[in-house]
Amino acid sequence: MKGTHGKEKTLSQNLSEAIEEGDISEEYSEEAELPEQVEEELLSEEEEKALQENIKKEKTILFIGILGVLFLALLSSVMTNTGVFFTILGFSPSLITLIICLFLVEENFKDGLLWATAIFMPIIFFILGPYINIIANNQLDVPALTGINLLLSMIVLIIAFLITHTMNTKKLEEEEYTTIENFNPENIDKYIHTIEDKCKALNFVIGRVYRVSNGGSKELREKIKIPSELYNEFNAIRPEELKDSEKREDAINILERIEERLNTLLKQEKIIFSTKELNALKKLARDKTGKDRIIDVLSVNDEDPVQDYFLGAVDFCQVIIKHLKEMK
């Protein structure tokens, strides 16, 4: 499990360069219309479905890996005229590693425990090699099998991670606009699309970190997610309508609400979540009393570039608001 303290200092320093914490607005709260509630519920269900599909594929890859190792053991038995029991014993570090990963994948696939298992099981096999060889009538090449088991376990875990990470995780896509150097009102839809992508990426991180298996709940996640209706409201404003001062004010108001919601992530967990919700959280690298900022908890417990998502979204909001206010 990763610690928070070393990383938290870096995050705090970087975030403070972009945002003056004294200007952080209070927690955003607004009563949602019934259609908006339905839309948020559907979004939450989609994210949960995507997460479950991700876990299912991870398990499938690991199960295939187990079958592959068993096939190699049987093939080795035939090619070397060694008993099946002995060849399976020789590949036992890989089998044990993948079986452990199969059971733990639903808890925290990215935790160092799984990678550590893939490394330490072959080491344990190497240390116990002389005793294992007694059982196997000295038919096992322990040093060679140690290397093979280490390689097999790491290959399967890497494949599982790469495939599921690219296929089922909502990653921030390549965008045409990463900064706004020359603001053009005609490109406002592309600017807001960039903000939307970054906010959606943050929402998926929130869904993964504060998921049910970690003690989170839908109610807890809804307190910090960026509502999708905000993007829909902005997308309803056409670029040519920004020439109208009233429409510009509407656009600015929406962006300020998005920024305000983003600023919620800079607050400590105990300010946003109830005591009951804090006590329910488990298996996360965080301060148990809720003194850690939400952005830090997300960043430490997920491998996505959470800080980049956050700073990018805030920066775009601030720059667009500035230019809209300067328009005549």
Full residue range of the structural domain in which residue 115 is found: 56-167
Residues 179 and 276 in one domain: yes
Residues 221 and 288 in one domain: yes
pLDDT over 90 for what percent of the chain?
21
pLDDT over 70 for what percent of the chain?
74
pLDDT digits (tens, 9 = 90+) for 19-62: 444 433 333 333 333 333 333 444 455 555 666 777 777 788 88
Task: Give the global pTM.
Answer: 0.53
89 domain-assigned: yes
Structure tokens, 13: 């320093």
Q: Which helix (H) or strand (E) holds 105?
A: helix 92-108
Measured in degrees and rounded to the nearest 5, phi and psi for residue 293 equal -75, 150
| Alpha-carbon gap, residue 85 to 73, rounded angstroms | 9
Residues 265 and 175 in one domain: yes
Domain boundary among 125, 141, 167: 167
Residues 257 and 301 in one domain: yes
pLDDT digits (tens, 9 = 90+) for 68-90: 888 988 888 888 787 888 888 88
| Alpha-carbon gap, residue 41 to 45, rounded angstroms | 6
pLDDT digits (tens, 9 = 90+) for 256-289: 999 999 999 999 999 999 999 999 999 899 999 9
pLDDT mean across residues, the chain: 76
Q: Which residue has the tokens 């009951």?
A: 276
Residue 293, SS3 per DSSP: strand
Amino acid at 210: Y
Q: Which parts of 210-244 fold into alpha helices (H)? A: 218-222, 228-235
| Alpha-carbon gap, residue 27 to 95, rounded angstroms | 49
Residues 150 and 242 in one domain: no
